[in-house]
Amino acid sequence: GAGVSQTPSNKVTEKGKYVELRCDPISGHTALYWYRQSLGQGPEFLIYFQGTGAADDSGLPNDRFFAVRPEGSVSTLKIQRTERGDSAVYLCASSPGTSQSTDTQYFGPGTRLTVL
Amino acid sequence: AQSVTQLGSHVSVSEGALVLLRCNYSSSVPPYLFWYVQYPNQGLQLLLKYTTGATLVKGINGFEAEFKKSETSFHLTKPSAHMSDAAEYFCAVTAATGGFKTIFGAGTRLFVKA
């Protein structure tokens, strides 16, 4: 079956602009995660959804970052007033939602965001 | 709070040689431990995970890891490296008490020489 997909694969924007990054999880997966991966680093947790609700958003760096999952499937990560430091690969993962701690997470290919 | 340390950002081995990638964790509660692999131009995929039970865990592609609580380690090994094993490997930890976050290490890039 289809895996996790993310669009766009690459996004170049100018400092101060607004961007939206989309994630389509594996069908039937109730849990969805967003991570940010900077060069030379491992993925850094941003937010976790169980269904439509954000169960843990403690990784969002500041109030310029926001994510939604209105119907419990597709999720959008929104970044306002982008800064150069936001440049990174943004990863999305989904899991069945059986156990938050032990579920295998299935990752998408990521969106590479470049802020000029 | 949990944390993960991967010793060595780069490891180089010859084809056929033992692969050993080191991971140490810090956790105030019993951890669940994972190894993920990222091949060039691909997304991360699970190699293996430790949740409960047997401390020696076998994964895909001949990899295995052993959870050693006394050493707070979860090192990844493979007896004989293949060229196709060249990739970046990430160790990760989650909490066993309902925590939602997965904490990843910085990664170790494995190079395999012919």
Distance CA B31, CA B11 (A): 26
Distance CA A100, CA B26 (A): 19
Q: Which residues of A touch B4 (CB under 8 A)?
A: 42
Among the partner residues B43, B98, B106, nearest to A100 by beta-carbon distance: B98
Q: Which residues of A touch B94 (CB under 8 A)?
A: 100-102
Between B30 and B70, the more confident residue is: B70
pLDDT band per the 50, 70, 90 thresholds, residue A102: confident
B72-97 burial code (b ≥16 CB/10 A, e <16): ebbbbebeebeeebbbbbbbbbbbee
Q: Which residues of B touch A40 (CB under 8 A)?
A: 9, 106-107
- Check if the beta carbon of residue B88 is closer than 8 Å to that of residue B107: yes
Among the partner residues A3, A43, A109, nearest to B104 by beta-carbon distance: A43
- Check if the beta carbon of residue B18 is closer than 8 Å to that of residue B77: yes
Q: pLDDT tens across B48-88, in order?
A: 999 888 899 999 999 999 999 999 999 999 999 999 999 99
pLDDT band per the 50, 70, 90 thresholds, residue A99: confident
Separation in Å, CA of A15 to nearest CA in chain B: 27
